[in-house]
Amino acid sequence: DAGVIQSPRHEVTEMGQEVTLRCKPISGHNSLFWYRQTMMRGLELLIYFNNNVPIDDSGMPEDRFSAKMPNASFSTLKIQPSEPRDSAVYFCASTLRGTTNEKLFFGSGTQLSVL
């Protein structure tokens, strides 16, 4: 298995532009998480999906952020419009919830820079 795949690895954009981050979870996993990592705030949970349904989006900072999971093998995190304070590393993680072997598998992240 290739693991959790995120794209792009790096994204540089200008303030006001739309940004779309993509994630392919591990096949067979039923839960997906989006995290944001910054030096100031550490690792923050943005949103959690279970069986493609958003369960907890309380971590989404504001309406500029939206996430979708149209099927079990794909999710997107969109920022529109982007702002410099959105600059961070965004991680996607997946797991098979409900098993004793539950642990998160993280992608390599997307380094986002908003100028």
Give the interface with another protein as residue ranges (CB under 8 A).
4, 31, 33, 42-43, 45, 48, 50, 55-56, 91, 93, 97, 100, 102-109
For residues 37 and 29, the answer to whether their CB atoms sit within 8 Å is: no
Q: Which is nearer to another protein, 4 or 67 (CB)?
A: 4
- Assess whether the previous peptide bond of 8 is cis (omega < 30° from 0): yes
**Please, what is the minimum distance in Å from the beta carbon of residue 81 to another protein?**
27
- Whole-angstrom distance, CA of residue 82 vs CA of residue 3: 28
Q: Which is nearer to another protein, 40 or 70 (CB)?
A: 40
Bridging pattern class, strands 19-24 and 10-13: unpaired
**Please, what is the minimum distance in Å from the beta carbon of residue 69 to another protein?**
16
In this structure, what token pair is assigned to residue 111? 């380094």
- Whole-angstrom distance, CA of residue 83 vs CA of residue 77: 15
Q: Which is nearer to another protein, 35 or 65 (CB)?
A: 35
Q: Which is nearer to another protein, 82 or 109 (CB)?
A: 109
**Please, what is the minimum distance in Å from the beta carbon of residue 91 to another protein?**
6
**Please, what is the minimum distance in Å from the beta carbon of residue 59 to another protein?**
9
Candidates 23, 38, 2, 17; CA nearest to 75 is: 23
